[in-house]
Amino acid sequence: MRLTRRMSLLRLAAVTALLALSTPVTAASGAASDSGHRRPCVSSRLPDDGPALDVLRIAEQAKADMDLKSVILRVTVDGRELITTALGESMTGVPAEPDMHFRNGNVAISYMGTALLRLVDEGTVSLDDTVGRWLPDLPHDLGDRITLRMLGASTSGLVDYVTTPDFGPTVYADPFRQWTAEELVAISTGKDLWYDPGTNWSYSHANFVLLGAALERITGTRLDVLLRQRITGPLGLHETRNSFTPDIPTPVLHAFTADRGRYEESTFWNPSWTTAPGAVETTDICDLARGAVGIGSGELLSPSAYRELLDPGTVGLGHPTDKCPARFCLPNTRATHYGMGLLVLGDWVSQHPLFFGYSASQNYLPCEHLAIAVSTTDGPGAPGGHTAHTIAQRIAAALAPDHPIPDFG
């Protein structure tokens, strides 16, 4: 290990020790007080030196290099704040703030995966139950061929409706359209499977629309209520909530994109196509970091369920075929693979949603109890792509140089 890396780790350890002396441990690992009331999500004091200053400089440099309109981030160690900060603007003349809400996209899928595993822990279901018991109307006998495990691990073989040729142009032609679950699933089930269920891996949004419907049928509880009862409530994620409309609770982090050829506001474009109704969530940076800890540590799960969360059988899958090109059937290795609704990237448990000008990254390193949460929005010259995740990777390289966050695929 290089001397600079040793110094970085020593400084991080020193900060952790100081935080342990000065900050009481709380029921929600620093996200809530002992009374259960959430602390305000505000910027921490500007650091003079040490790892927090390193993180701030990484964010400032990345914002400038990538022409980002805003960067909001939070890093915690052992559940205690290392730094929380917001750079740039939400809108012209409106500074970005840590308590601003943004869309969390597929982060909610990891909450769904953990909710499913909690039902497995309770003996309510088995991962290998076929979904036809709860979703009997799936065409082509799919209900008898696809299991709950296949939905959560994205090994069903269902075509991803988002990648079908007409879907993107249709969304961008009318970004305010309200999509129904039935419309979305019909696009995928109306096409031949890419492979026999359970024999390969490819990401498909349809899996999670169906998983949400199955969870509702299994529990007799609407999905948004179920996730609040089983996941966001117990973890103290009081600023994470579903909306059945494109609305975002105030204060709002506004988003902008050039996806349609001109730079325009996309904050209230309709995200109903992104996942199951009831899991179309907004959050803030403090909840994003706290969720990283709660899900990434398996806090709500038994040891066996936590092992399933990290590898429900996807390692070794991901073989490109004529029907499933390499850009969709990505190889799942021990080092980088898909878990139960989340990514395992090296030693990290991660998610990094990206759509409609919003980019976010949620990451947890169990061996160091280190959480990194980043949200970004694009400026006119932004390169696009997972800019928040790029920043998270740079922060990880600085704070935990022996545990980089690799790319998937």
Asked whether 161 and 184 are in contact (CB, 8 A), the reply is yes
Quick: pLDDT tens for 29-78: 333 332 344 679 999 998 989 999 999 999 999 999 999 999 999 999 99
Q: What is the pLDDT of residue 12?
A: 53
HEC per residue, 207-252: HHHHHHHHHHHHHCCCHHHHHHHHHHCCCCCCCCEECCCCCCCCCE
What mean pLDDT do residues 366-394 have?
Answer: 97
What is the Cα–Cα distance from 25 to 206, expressed in whole angstroms?
40
Provide the CB-side half-sphere exposure for 222 (13 A, CA). 8
What mean pLDDT do residues 221-246 have?
Answer: 98
Q: Reply yes or no on whether the pLDDT at 150 is more than 60.
A: yes
Q: Name the band, by pLDDT with cuts 50, 70 and 90, for residue 364.
A: very high
Q: Reply yes or no on whether the pLDDT at 400 is more than 70.
A: yes
Q: What is the pLDDT of residue 39?
A: 78
Which parts of 78-203 are beta strand (E)? Answer: 80-91, 94-95, 102-103
Give the burial string for 136-166 (b: 16+ CB within 10 Å, else e).
Answer: eebeeebbebbbbbbbbbbbbbbbbbbeeee
Cβ-based burial of 389 (10 A; exposed 0-12, middle 13-18, buried ≥19): buried
Extents of the domains making up the chain: 3-20+48-399
What mean pLDDT do residues 75-102 have?
Answer: 98
Rounded to the nearest integer, the mean pLDDT of the chain is: 92
Classified as helix, coil or strand, 302 is coil
What is the Cα–Cα distance from 237 to 110, expressed in whole angstroms?
14
What mean pLDDT do residues 183-188 have?
Answer: 98
- Alpha-carbon distance values, 115 to 67, 208, 271, 300, 306 (Å): 38, 13, 22, 9, 12
What is the Cα–Cα distance from 359 to 352, expressed in whole angstroms?
7
- DSSP structural state of residue 396: H
Asked whether 202 and 329 are in contact (CB, 8 A), the reply is yes
Q: What is the pLDDT of residue 206?
A: 98
Quick: pLDDT tens for 267-309: 999 999 999 999 999 999 999 999 999 999 999 999 999 999 9
- The predicted model scores a pTM of 0.92
* Residue type (1 letter), 229: Q
Q: Is the domain defined by 3-20+48-399 classed in CATH 3.40.710.10?
A: yes
